[in-house]
């Protein structure tokens, strides 16, 4: 179960964080070069972000499982790192999910007067900030998880 938990956690984090990285560094940049409008970029990326949000929710569930399983053998600093980064990631993902729902309502059906209004631009900026926060928290979690796994392995070898 130990290897399966770690494997699934790494795969989920890799898919989620890798997807967010590719999305933010390639997809968004290219979409802005083509459209020059937050609203039009939102139309392009609407479906991608929905799928990234589902992947993120699954990753958070696996991160919670890993945190609970790694808790006891981990030292206090590693526990704090696991807990804090998980809480921040969950909160940021919740914000992303809520803002995404609001933005979806503005995008469907697209209204011609919405194109560059503050009604879309401000929440879209908040969405991008929340996404950056969850991405950063995910990376911090990955570092804490690697440290926890090292401590788990060390405790297991001492017990033998």
What is the pLDDT at residue 160? 76
Domain boundaries, the chain: 2-159
Q: How far apart are CA 70 and CA 147, in angstroms?
A: 10
What is the pLDDT at residue 24? 86
Contacts of 91 (CB under 8 A, 6+ apart): none
What is the pLDDT at residue 115? 53
Torsions phi, psi of 83, nearest 5? Answer: -65, -50
What is the pLDDT at residue 109? 67
Q: How far apart are CA 56 and CA 63, in angstroms?
A: 10
Q: Which long-range contacts (CB under 8 A, 24 or more apart) does 11-17 make?
A: 12/55, 12/58, 12/59, 12/62, 12/63, 13/59, 13/62, 13/63, 13/138, 13/141, 13/142, 13/145, 15/55, 15/59, 16/52, 16/55, 16/56, 16/58, 16/59, 16/138, 17/135, 17/138, 17/139, 17/142
Mean pLDDT estimate for the chain: 90
The parts of the chain modelled with pLDDT lower than 50 are: none
| Token output for 122 | 């401000």
pLDDT digits (tens, 9 = 90+) for 106-150: 777 665 555 556 677 888 889 989 999 999 999 999 999 999 999
State the number of CA atoms in the 13 A half-sphere of 117 facing the CB. 11
What is the pLDDT at residue 55? 97
What is the pLDDT at residue 108? 73
């Amino acid at each position: 179960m130990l290897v399966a938990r770690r494997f699934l956690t790494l795969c989920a984090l890799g898919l989620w964080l890798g997807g967010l990285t590719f999305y933010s560094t390639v997809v968004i940049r290219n979409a802005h070069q083509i459209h020059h409008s937050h609203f039009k970029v939102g139309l392009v990326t609407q479906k991608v972000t929905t799928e990234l949000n589902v992947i993120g929710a699954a990753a958070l569930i696996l991160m919670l499982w890993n945190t609970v399983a790694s808790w006891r053998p981990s030292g206090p600093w590693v526990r704090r790192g696991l807990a804090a980064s998980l809480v921040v990631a969950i909160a940021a993902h919740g914000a992303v999910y809520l803002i995404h729902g609001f933005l979806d309502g503005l995008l469907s059906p697209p209204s011609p007067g919405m194109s560059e209004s503050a009604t879309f631009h401000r929440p879209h900026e908040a969405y991008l900030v929340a996404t950056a926060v969850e991405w950063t928290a995910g990376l911090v979690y990955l570092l804490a998880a690697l440290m926890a796994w090292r401590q788990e392995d060390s405790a297991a070898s001492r017990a033998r």
